[in-house]
Every structure is written in structure tokens, then in C-alpha cells.
Amino acid sequence: MTTFSTRRCGPIVTDITIPGDKSISHRSAMFASLAEGRSTITGFLESEDCLSTVNAMRSLGARIEHTGKGTFVIDGCGGKFTAPTGDVDCGNSGTTMRLISGILAAQPFRSRLIGDASLSKRPMGRVINPLTEMGGHFTSEGDQPGRPPLVIDGGSLQPISYEMPVASAQVKSAILLAGLSATGETSVIEPAACRDHTERMLQEFGVALDLGVADANGRRHIAVKGPQTLKARDFAVPGDISSAAFWLVAAAAKKGSDTTIESVGLNPTRTGIISVLQRMGAKIEITPVDEKAAEPLGKVRVLGGPLQGTVIEGAEIPNVIDELPILAVAGALAQGKTIIKDAKELRVKETDRIAAVAGNLRLMGAIVTETEDGMIIEGGHPLHGATLQCFGDHRIAMAFAIAGLFADGETVIENVECVATSYPTFGATLASILTPQPGHVIAIDGPAASGKSSVSKGLAAALGYTFISSGHFYRALAWGILRDGLAQPLSTDTVNAWVKDRHLQLQDSRLLLDGDDATPYLSSADVAAMVSPIAAFPSVRDLVNSNLRALAETTNLVMEGRDIGSVVFPETPYKFYLDASPEERARRRAKEGTVDSVAERDRLDSTRATAPLKIPEGATVIDTTHLNLEQVIQAVLSHLKPRLLAD
């Protein structure tokens, strides 16, 4: 059994290249096989589903050679296939079975389409009915009417005008493919816009189509006059936006993320995922590459931040039907209510996706109400790890792997072998995001009351980084010494022996010492008085510094103190030294209710034997005397952001 194991991660700052579009890969193999002549297909998605299409076309006489990663050279049959010697195995692919039914209905031989256990449960009546109207002969051998295996006795077809009861790109495609062999005009009326890859690609392969214009209700006629034969051509498959959807949601919902998806298809009938996320408040930038291509593509950049709930319904549903599982996860991560409706189609996918998504979200702590045609998600509730089933559905598996990136504890999705049907490299990309990478450390040093703590907190919030005050670690150890009743005055031997067995751990916003939560005690007067004496011991400083450096191995940090850039992280290129006039700092201390002498504190900090206060080498010095908090944060960001983006 293969599993995905995920956990909460930090901001996702990376570039991701996604595999070729699944829908377009299917069609490229079919259309090149139908065509007259030789075509070269590049960027092809070598997933199990798409390879089922390749093998199906081979079984019908097309010569298909795999010449490199994602590259296939196809010698087409000019629309005239040969009878297969055995069953045509469609694997798990509903696209393969439904579209090839439109092709085989017109071929002068008998064929039998089979699939795996999951595909054998999926309804095929939606293509059988219109193809039968055209004169096709279908026999369903499944355990229910309209279920595979399908036996097709092909022959001459008659053109029809068919109004689809539900918008479906697969039904539309099957009818148009059958119409290529019928004498006369075959037309399809779609009740709402759905994927138009078939129309675009048929035109690329030389087929004349009448695409019509949508009326006021969104209904559109698409017509083809048969018979027509496709002409071979070379075709590049763009990246799959349905695969990109998982990373788009992950980055959009995780504060501080900056993720770019390269070379992704931007077909307008597929970009609903972007429109929905933007409506939820996601910051998304799109850079087109070639808008005049048959299938436009470009680069999509996502900046993480808070999301708000939304309503997904009506004509928008066909455009996002495959993305609804991950959009439901986005709804759980957003604030407010997200409603998905008019999506009853989800109940007859690889699994009942409405039940599967709602059930898994509940297991993770989300509040979800399942409806007949969708669900209502009360967003903003914390998620916790869980062991989940994906029910043999690749999109459920991937959606909940992403949900695990936001949950406390470990999330395990079992039996994820099905992901190979659409996105074989998903696990590798997920692992690269979960693999600890050295983080950026932004060091903020300066004397007392220079504004280090407030600025560091605001800076961390702006960047989505973790804020750390080195002083809290010293205070936790000071509390531990008081807790354990070490004799006063402290001796080097006593402190060294005590420190050796201490364990510091930052857990969310709590600081644990030996498993005990020290956080409530960090501000006490007794602890504050103990900090300076213990900070003078090298063994104490070594323990604190080793903990701080360990955090930086996996986390982007903003860290403040008096020796962060000079001693703890001298190698970080992001160093800032905040200062202010003694008078202004004294005023700030008095406002806080602190009565110690700023001058005496400066003297002690700058003359101590261990790590005295100084301006770190290479630090940017900012005088905060006449600046408010927001102005200081913006001054730091103006120096910082160009360098972070360059890295």
C-alpha cells in the first residue's frame, strides 16, 4: 500500500513545473491516430489514463512510437481503423471510453470496451444515447444499464442535432467525433460553456467547424459537416491547470508563499479555478506566453494570504468540475462560508466525490454539510491530522495531501496508487515541499528600546515568517533555574551540569523547557532578574544559539536580539541594526513602565565579556528616533524584498 504522509509546512516559495494537460493529451493521441499522415506530440502526459488512450489507439491500427519523455510520433489511419484482436482496455479512464465510443460507432467492425473496477461502475448512457440516435449499436454488459463493458457494432451514422441535458465536454466530443463520419451536419447544443479542447484541436488538425455564438442563456451550437478527415500536424501539450490547482490552493492559502507555476494551459474554459480563488481573495498574477496558440499557455504566480468563503454554482461548475475537491479544501481553510452547488455530476466521478470530500474534511475537524448537489463548508476551523481514504480517486488523494499541509499533526492518505492515472510526479513535488530546506534568517539587532521586538513581529507577519526573540530562550532557561532551585550565586560547574540535560522546544507559539510550558512565566520579574546572570555563562549561550540555528535549518525566521547578526547568524545576508537617540529610547521605556537606566543598560550590553552589543558587519542601520512602527517596517522591507526575490 502506497501512502502520502503530510504535515503542516511553512510558506511555499518555489517554482513548479507541472506535467502535460490530461484532457489535451488524450485528445492529441486520438486525433493524431485519426489523422492522415505523421504527427509528433510533445509534452504528453505519461500517466496511466493517457497511456490507456495510446494503447487503445494502437490496438485499432495506429502506429505510435514513444521517442522520448513526453514525446510520441504517431502515424495515423486517416479515419479508417482495423478491428481489434481483443478487448480495447480503457483502464481507469472515462475520457478514453467515452471519446473512443464516438470514433468506434462509425467503424465497420465490432469492438468491446472494458475498464477497471472503478470505470466499470461509471455511467456511459450519456454517450450511448446520442450515439444510438445517430445509428450506433451499443450493448452494455455491466451490472447496471449503461455500465461497461460496452460492445459496439459500428457502421454508417446519420447526423443529428443534440441538446445536451447537462454540459459535458466528453459527451460533446463523442458526438463531434462521430459526426466526422456522418454525411451531413451534426450539431451539439451545450447548455453552458464547458471545455472546448476538442473544438480547438479539431481545427488544428484541419477540421472545419461551426462554433456558433452563445445566446443570452449561455446555450451554444457547435456543428461539424461530415465526412471529414483530419490532417496530421505536430502538437505541443501545455501544462495541466487541473494539476496546478493543488499548488495554486496550497500557495494561496498559506501566508508568505510565493509560488510560480510554469507553462500552464490557460484555456478560458479551464481557468475557473483562478477566477474562484481570486474571488476568495487570492493574489494571482498571470503572464501569458502565447495567447494565439490553439491552446494558450502562460505563467501563474500566487502570493499567499487569507482567503474568504465564496459560492461556486451554476454555469461556473463545468469549468471547475475537476477542481471542486481542492476548492472544497480551500473553503475549509478560508474564513466564512463556502457553498458548492449544482455539482451533482461529482457523485458519478471515480467515486462519489461529494461524499468523499465531505467525509474526509469532517475527519480533519472541518464543519461540512453535505447536500444532494454539493456541500456547505463553515471555514476557518482548525484542521487536525487524520488517516484518510481516497477511495481510488486521484483527485481526492491529492486534495487531502494538500489539506495535510495546514493541519496539526500527521495526515496520512492511504492507497494513493491511483494518483498515477493523472499526475505521476505529484508525490515527488509534495516531498520537495515537505523536505526541510535552509530558511532565510532576518537578523534584527540593536540596543534596548530601539523597537526590535515590535518591528520584528510586524516584519514576520508581513512576510509570513516565524518570529523569534532570542531573549525568550534565555528567559525560559532562567525560569528553569528558578524552577529547579539551583543554589545562588550560580557557579560555572553548577550551570554547565544543569544545562547539559536541558531540552528547549518551540511548539507553535509556546516555548517548552523539558516538555514544560515556560511561556506563562517569561514576563515575571524574578525571571527577568535572572536573565543577565545566566546569559554570562558560555554553556547557556551555546545551548540557546544551537536551538536558534536548528530552527533556521527548516524555517524562515525573523529573529531579534543583541548579537543575532554578529554571533548567532553572522553569515546571514539579511542584517539590520535598529537604533534611536538615548532620549527617545528612555521615553519608550518609561511609556512601557520600565524604570531601568537606558545608559546603564547600554553600558552593560556593550561591555559584557560574551557577545557584546555591536553593529554586525554588513548590517543596514536604521535610526528609528523619528519613525513610527509602520515606517520602520516599510524601511526594512524596502531594503529586504529585492534581495529576497533575487535569492
Whichever domain contains 597, its CATH number is 3.40.50.300
For the stretch 201-224, pLDDT in tens is 999 999 999 998 777 777 889 999
Across-strand partners of 209?
224
Q: What is the pTM of this model?
A: 0.67
For the stretch 416-431, pLDDT in tens is 999 988 898 999 999 8
CB atoms near residue 645 (< 10 Å): 9
User: Percentage of residues in the chain with pLDDT exceeding 90?
Assistant: 67
User: Percentage of residues in the chain with pLDDT exceeding 70?
Assistant: 97
User: What mean pLDDT is predicted for residues 343-367?
Assistant: 94
**If you average pLDDT over every residue of the chain, what do you get?**
91
The lowest-confidence range among 99-108, 373-382, 462-471, 511-520 is 462-471
Predicted pLDDT of residue 51: 95
Cβ burial of 614 (10 Å; 0-12, 13-18, 19+) is: middle
What proportions of the chain, in percent to the nearest 5, are helix, strand and coil? Answer: 40, 25, 35
Q: Which of 114, 117, 61 is nearest to 88 (CA)?
A: 114
User: What mean pLDDT is predicted for residues 264-292?
Assistant: 92
Which of 185, 218, 236 terminates a domain? The answer is 236
Which of 384, 414, 434 terminates a domain? The answer is 434
On whether the CB atoms of residues 349 and 393 are closer than 8 A, the answer is yes
Element (H, E) at 426: helix 426-434
User: What mean pLDDT is predicted for residues 159-185?
Assistant: 95
Predicted pLDDT of residue 381: 94
Same domain (yes/no): 133, 26: yes
Predicted pLDDT of residue 34: 97
For residue 318, the enclosing domain spans 3-19+238-434
Q: Are strands 367-371 and 283-288 parallel, antiparallel or unpaired?
A: unpaired
User: What mean pLDDT is predicted for residues 552-562?
Assistant: 84
- If pLDDT is split at 50, 70 and 90, which confidence band does 595 have? low
Question: Residue 127: which CATH number?
Answer: 3.65.10.10
Contacts for 586-594 with beta carbons within 8 Å, 24 or more apart? 586/449, 588/449, 588/451, 589/448, 589/449, 592/449
Same domain (yes/no): 74, 154: yes
Element (H, E) at 118: none
Query: How far is 26 from 22, CA to CA, in rounded Å?
Result: 6
Query: How far is 194 from 305, CA to CA, in rounded Å?
Result: 30
**Of 49, 89, 258, 322, which residue is the catalytic one?**
322
Predicted pLDDT of residue 644: 63
On whether the CB atoms of residues 127 and 146 are closer than 8 A, the answer is no
Same domain (yes/no): 312, 168: no
Which of 236, 270, 288 terminates a domain? The answer is 236
**Phi, psi of 330, deg, nearest 5:** -60, -40
Q: Which of 542, 586, 536 is nearest to 568 (CA)?
A: 542
Q: Which of 100, 76, 77, 68 is nearest to 87 (CA)?
A: 100
Same domain (yes/no): 7, 28: no
Cβ burial of 231 (10 Å; 0-12, 13-18, 19+) is: middle
Same domain (yes/no): 585, 560: yes
Q: Does residue 600 surpass a pLDDT of 80?
A: no
On whether the CB atoms of residues 269 and 319 are closer than 8 A, the answer is yes
Predicted pLDDT of residue 477: 93
User: What mean pLDDT is predicted for residues 510-533?
Assistant: 88
What are the helix (H) ranges across 205-283?
241-253, 272-279
Indicate the number of domains in the chain: 3
Same domain (yes/no): 487, 392: no
Q: Which of 21, 86, 79 is nearest to 50 (CA)?
A: 21
Three cell numbers at 501?
540535560
On whether the CB atoms of residues 177 and 169 are closer than 8 A, the answer is no
Same domain (yes/no): 510, 613: yes
Same domain (yes/no): 246, 381: yes
Radius of gyration of the chain (CA): 31
- CB neighbours of 603 closer than 8 A, spacing ≥ 6? none
- If pLDDT is split at 50, 70 and 90, which confidence band does 575 have? very high
Same domain (yes/no): 186, 253: no
Is 322 considered catalytic here? yes
Predicted pLDDT of residue 546: 87
What are the helix (H) ranges across 267-323?
272-279, 317-320
For the stretch 495-520, pLDDT in tens is 999 998 888 888 767 888 988 899 99
Q: Does residue 611 surpass a pLDDT of 80?
A: no
Same domain (yes/no): 509, 388: no
Q: Does residue 542 surpass a pLDDT of 70?
A: yes
Same domain (yes/no): 123, 265: no
Same domain (yes/no): 382, 334: yes
